[in-house]
């Protein structure tokens, strides 16, 4: 058993991949409970898709996705936050417009600028190809995201639960709103290499949703979400290594498997109570 | 020990002088003038869209006053933030979060400088004290989603007590709770009021205003009347607020008088 667990560590690319998977798993599943309780799944999906035109232009000018990560995510967070607040067409509609138009713009730019991007890797992730620099960026982002969440946890929780009460209490709600959008966007963009644009949502939402089904308190749901997210990332990577499966989709499927188990555990608990 | 003599003075805590507020370029409050003294229990009544919540939002500094003035303890509403505790309408609170009663009450002690993850001992003591005052100390670790509507409302009031706010704004405090819970909340409001807090309650229930409140503020985008409920709730004022529904109110009011006399 231990031999099986240790075997992938013989290869440097696997060590890099596992570190990246753990960092992505921790980062996304820390934010997941906030995202699902604030119904921000669609927003997170839009953030992931909105990266495509920025990546296309960045690659055209010779930057890698990791180098583009932080500026791209800050740009997306502020742009989405501003449009949603000021568009007067409703949050869902505004997100939908940005989501589809940015994704379309990304494909058009890739074609017009004639940049070489492996779209399959971008959409579904290619964690096995991460460089040392990519690992450094993802781990750094993980430390920053988790650190900010720890420092502002109580204020963010108050704002998420009762935004009006928080504002009346004197909290800087505008700052808290953009802070969460920025950390969410950073986590999503930093995880694109791990699971890709399409599947990043699954790593954000599924561990958090599964943990909500089997926990009673919000803080505990974050801890369990982190365990589920990290386990999904690492075990997905192992399965993809041993069975030659695509890594991003395998991680998503492991997370889905955990969700299904939690779903039935939750049902059983309800039946027992009745 | 606090006594009613030294708590209730004649200091005006909320002064609105020709206050005007616009929402989406439409007047929501127009030329509203009143003066609430410290330690008063005030019912704010009026039809839907009459400006009750807008007035609370203006007092809380959430919407700007475009004309006239509104002063809280002599300060602008924005400067007075932190001295007010606002319990908004229940649908504005995100109850998706599986929070404990303790976590919600602790929010009354959070400010913009709160950067710690763990609760300190003195914070825990204040939370316990606030929950004891609302009669929910045994529910401290209960999930808020397991509470009844009335209990949840009391938890939010405890949050205001933990904050030690001078003014408590309760928007639709009695909506979606049964009669027993309404009486519990009213009795709690009376207890808090004895400690000198100024309490404003937006309500649709015109019955028992005389019994429960010192003053009533009648709003229909403008101030229809303000003062002692027994004096200001006249047929003209009720018709100015609600149109031709005075008979219905009169019927309920006389029914209550009869019950009280029994």
- pLDDT 10s digits, B38-92: 989 999 998 888 899 999 999 999 999 999 999 999 899 988 888 898 888 877 8
- Read off the tokens for A217: 């308190």
The answer to whether the CB atoms of A171 and B62 lie below 8 A apart is: no
**What are the C-alpha distances in Å from A30 to residues A199, A222, A254, B3, B80?**
17, 6, 18, 50, 35
Q: What average pLDDT does this structure show over B129-139?
A: 89
- Read off the tokens for A200: 């990043």
Enumerate the residues of chain B whose CB falls inside 8 A of the CB of residue A155. 110, 112, 114-115
Strand bridging mode B67-72 / B215-220: unpaired
- Nearest chain B Cα distance for residue A71, angstroms: 26
- B84-165 matches B1-82+167-179+194-262 in CATH topology: yes
Enumerate the residues of chain A whose CB falls inside 8 A of the CB of residue B103. 157, 218
Q: What is the structure's pLDDT at A28?
A: 95
Distance CA B173, CA A34 (A): 27
Among chain A residues, CA nearest to B91? A162
Q: What is the structure's pLDDT at B200?
A: 94
CATH placement of domain B84-165? 3.40.50.300
Helix (H, G, I), strand (E, B) or coil at B18: strand
Q: What is the structure's pLDDT at B120?
A: 76
Strand bridging mode B12-23 / B26-37: antiparallel
Enumerate the residues of chain A whose CB falls inside 8 A of the CB of residue B88. 162, 164-165
Enumerate the residues of chain A whose CB falls inside 8 A of the CB of residue B61. 167-168
Distance CA B229, CA B71 (A): 24
Distance CA B154, CA B135 (A): 8
Q: What is the structure's pLDDT at B118?
A: 61
For chain B, the residues whose C-beta falls within 8 A of a C-beta of chain A are 60-62, 81-82, 84-88, 92-94, 96-100, 103-104, 106-108, 110-112, 114-117, 143, 156, 159, 163
Looking at domain B1-82+167-179+194-262, does it have CATH number 3.40.50.300? yes
- Check if A216 contacts B (Cβ < 8 Å): yes
Q: Which of B94, B104, B117 sits opposite A150 (nearest CB)?
A: B117
Q: What is the structure's pLDDT at B4?
A: 43
Helix (H, G, I), strand (E, B) or coil at B42: strand
The DSSP result for B97-116, as a single string, is S--BHHHHHHGGG--TT---
Distance CA B102, CA B147 (A): 13
Question: Which CATH number goes with the domain that contains A48?
Answer: 1.10.3470.10
Helix (H, G, I), strand (E, B) or coil at A257: helix
Q: What is the structure's pLDDT at B6?
A: 45
ipTM associated with this complex: 0.82
- Nearest chain B Cα distance for residue A216, angstroms: 7
**Length of chain A in terms of residues written:** 274
Answer yes or no: is pLDDT of B103 > 50. yes
Q: How many domains does chain A have?
A: 1
Confidence of residue B261 (pLDDT cuts 50, 70, 90): very low
Q: What average pLDDT does this structure show over B90-102?
A: 88
CB neighbourhood size of A242 (10 A)? 11
Percent of chain B scoring above 70 in pLDDT: 87
Domain region containing A116: 2-127+134-273
Lowest mean pLDDT segment, chosen from A155-164, A240-249, B86-95: B86-95
Residue listed under structure tokens 């309760």: B170
- The torsion angle over the Cα atoms of residues A52, A58, A61 and A66, rounded to 10 degrees, is -130
CB contacts < 8 A, A to B, total 96
Answer yes or no: is pLDDT of B119 > 70. no
- pLDDT 10s digits, A97-150: 888 998 899 989 999 998 888 878 888 888 888 889 889 999 999 999 999 999
- Check if A213 contacts B (Cβ < 8 Å): no
Answer yes or no: is pLDDT of B3 > 50. no
**Quick one: which H or E segment has residue A106?**
helix A91-112
Q: Are B97 and A156 in contact (CB under 8 A)?
A: no
- Listed by start position, the domains of chain B span 1-82+167-179+194-262, 84-165
Q: What is the structure's pLDDT at A16?
A: 92
The answer to whether the CB atoms of B86 and A165 lie below 8 A apart is: yes
Residue listed under structure tokens 């240790």: A6
Residue listed under structure tokens 């799944």: A41
Interface list for A 114-143 with B (CB within 8 A) = none
């Amino acid at each position: 058993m231990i031999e099986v667990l240790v075997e992938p560590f013989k290869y440097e690319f696997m060590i890099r991949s596992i570190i990246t998977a753990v960092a992505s798993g921790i980062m996304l599943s820390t934010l997941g409970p906030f995202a699902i309780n604030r119904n921000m799944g669609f927003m997170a999906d839009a953030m992931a898709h909105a990266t495509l035109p920025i990546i296309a232009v960045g690659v055209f000018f010779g930057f890698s996705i990791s180098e583009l990560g932080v500026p791209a995510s800050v740009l997306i967070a502020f742009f989405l936050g501003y449009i949603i607040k000021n568009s007067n067409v409703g949050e869902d509609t505004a997100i939908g417009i940005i989501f589809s138009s940015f994704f379309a713009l990304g494909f058009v730019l890739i074609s017009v600028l004639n940049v070489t991007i492996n779209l399959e890797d971008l959409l579904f992730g290619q964690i096995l190809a991460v460089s040392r620099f990519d690992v450094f960026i993802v781990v750094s982002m993980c430390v920053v995201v988790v650190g900010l969440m720890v420092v502002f946890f109580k204020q963010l929780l108050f704002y998420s639960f009762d935004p009006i009460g928080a504002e009346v209490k004197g909290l800087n709600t505008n700052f808290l709103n953009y802070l969460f959008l920025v950390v969410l966007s950073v986590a999503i963009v930093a995880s694109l290499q791990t699971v890709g644009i399409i599947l990043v949502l699954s790593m954000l939402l599924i561990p958090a949703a599964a943990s909500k089904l089997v926990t009673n308190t919000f803080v505990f749901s974050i801890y369990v979400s982190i365990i589920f997210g990290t386990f999904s990332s690492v075990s997905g990577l192992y399965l993809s290594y041993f069975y030659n499966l695509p890594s991003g989709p395998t991680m998503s499927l492991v997370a889905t498997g955990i969700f299904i188990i939690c779903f039935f555990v939750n049902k059983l608990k309800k039946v027992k109570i009745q | 020990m606090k006594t009613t003599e030294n708590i209730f003075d004649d200091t005006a805590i909320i002064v609105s002088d020709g206050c005007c507020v616009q929402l989406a370029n439409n007047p929501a409050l127009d030329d509203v003038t009143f003066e609430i003294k410290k330690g008063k229990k005030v019912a704010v009544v009026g039809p839907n869209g009459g400006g009750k919540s807008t007035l609370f939002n203006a007092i809380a500094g959430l919407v700007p006053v475009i004309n006239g003035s509104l002063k809280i303890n002599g300060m602008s509403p924005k400067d007075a933030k932190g001295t007010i505790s606002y319990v908004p309408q229940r649908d504005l609170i995100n109850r998706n979060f599986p929070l404990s009663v303790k976590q919600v009450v602790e929010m009354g002690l959070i400010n913009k400088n709160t950067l710690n993850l763990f609760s300190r001992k003195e914070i825990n003591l204040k939370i316990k004290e606030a929950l004891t005052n609302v009669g929910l100390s045994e529910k401290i670790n209960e999930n808020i989603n397991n509470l009844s509507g009335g209990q949840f409302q009391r938890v939010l009031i405890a949050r205001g007590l933990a904050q030690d706010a001078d003014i408590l704004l309760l928007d639709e405090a009695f909506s979606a709770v049964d009669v027993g819970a309404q009486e519990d909340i009213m009795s709690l409001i009376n207890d808090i009021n004895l400690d000198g807090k100024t309490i404003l309650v937006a309500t649709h229930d015109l019955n028992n205003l005389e019994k429960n409140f010192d003053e009533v503020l009648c709003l229909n985008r403008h101030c229809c009347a303000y003062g002692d409920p027994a004096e200001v709730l006249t047929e003209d004022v009720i018709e100015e607020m609600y149109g031709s529904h005075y008979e219905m109110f009169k019927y309920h009011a006389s029914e209550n008088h009869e019950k009280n006399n029994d």
